[in-house]
């Protein structure tokens, strides 16, 4: 029988050579219904953060780990389901704290209760679409430089509070369909590049997604993968989940 891994052993093995330490809006509303959950000692804690792409219509009143309704219908649920099946001995605890309509500044505002309090071993962040989209639809005036500065500050804050946490920075992506048109470019691409620089600046694991979606769109219409150009369909979420597990190693 295979020996069960401790919390730290599992995360280190999942991190591979990278290592543990270096490695359009849908809706808004209260993120946890006034409740908070804490991770169980001796477990491997994975937290997903971001906007509606991560939120995935999750029930925000369900704050405990590994609950399907609390993980939403998107890629966090697919990652958790596959990893829990593959590693039943590892004591994995998955939490989804994505909130629809979030920008980087919104993550800053809720970072302590929604992220730092959970003390994740692996923290995965997908943010950036609304930092541009809200310029087109909601009067937001943030620049690429603002985005890069604020994102870097968020990750630096996280490194200071959780120096052993493995950070996974996911690249924002968009396909030309639905609400995404040529007015998104080149600024959206500049924000993608800024995300990669921010990840590198703190030694985070960078998870590229745009090239993957471009390749998928060459095989089948963009609307097969994203229903509005930014939010994935089930097929798109499955592609993200598969890429996440390949890169992160769970």
In a 13 Å sphere around the CA of 236, the CA atoms on its Cβ side amount to: 25
| pLDDT of the residue at 32 | 37
Q: Does residue 140 contact residue 103 with C-beta atoms inside 8 Å?
A: yes
| pLDDT of the residue at 41 | 57
pLDDT digits (tens, 9 = 90+) for 76-94: 999 999 999 999 999 999 9
Spatial distance between the Cα atoms of 78 and 168, rounded to a whole number of angstroms = 17
The 10 Å Cβ neighbour count of residue 109 is: 10
pLDDT digits (tens, 9 = 90+) for 49-64: 999 999 999 999 999 9
pLDDT digits (tens, 9 = 90+) for 91-103: 999 999 999 999 9
Provide Rg for the chain, Cα atoms. 17
Spatial distance between the Cα atoms of 43 and 36, rounded to a whole number of angstroms = 18
The pLDDT-based confidence of 38 (bands split at 50, 70, 90) is: low
Spatial distance between the Cα atoms of 230 and 250, rounded to a whole number of angstroms = 25
* Mean pLDDT (whole number) for 225-242: 98
Domain spans in the chain, listed from the N-terminal domain onward: 7-20+39-248
Spatial distance between the Cα atoms of 124 and 2, rounded to a whole number of angstroms = 28
Number of H helices and number of E strands within the chain?
11, 5
* Mean pLDDT (whole number) for 179-191: 97
Q: Does residue 123 contact residue 162 with C-beta atoms inside 8 Å?
A: yes
CATH 3.30.70.1350 fits 7-20+39-248, yes or no: no
Spatial distance between the Cα atoms of 54 and 76, rounded to a whole number of angstroms = 7
Q: Does residue 90 contact residue 10 with C-beta atoms inside 8 Å?
A: yes
């Amino acid at each position: 029988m295979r020996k069960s891994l401790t919390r730290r052993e599992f995360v280190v093995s999942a991190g591979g050579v990278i290592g543990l330490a270096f490695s359009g809006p849908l809706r808004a509303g209260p993120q946890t219904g006034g409740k908070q959950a804490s991770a169980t000692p001796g477990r491997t804690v994975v937290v997903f953060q971001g906007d509606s792409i991560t939120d995935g219509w999750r029930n925000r009143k369900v704050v405990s780990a590994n609950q399907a309704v609390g993980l939403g219908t998107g890629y966090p649920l697919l990652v958790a389901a596959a990893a829990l099946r593959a590693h039943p001995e590892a004591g994995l605890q998955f939490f989804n704290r994505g909130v629809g309509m979030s920008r980087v500044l919104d993550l800053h505002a809720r970072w302590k209760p929604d992220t730092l309090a959970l003390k994740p071993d692996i923290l995965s962040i997908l943010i950036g679409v609304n930092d541009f989209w809200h310029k087109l639809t909601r009067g937001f005036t943030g620049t690429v430089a603002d985005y890069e500065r604020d994102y870097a500050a968020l990750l630096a804050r996280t490194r200071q509070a959780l120096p052993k946490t493995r950070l996974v920075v996911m690249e924002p992506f968009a396909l030309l369909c639905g609400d995404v048109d040529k007015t998104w470019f080149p600024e959206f691409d500049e924000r993608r590049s800024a995300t990669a620089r921010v990840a590198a600046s703190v030694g985070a694991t960078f998870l590229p997604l745009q090239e993957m979606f471009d390749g998928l769109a060459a095989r089948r219409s963009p609307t097969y993968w994203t229903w509005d150009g930014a939010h994935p369909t089930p097929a798109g979420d499955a592609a993200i989940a598969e890429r996440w597990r390949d890169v992160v190693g769970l």
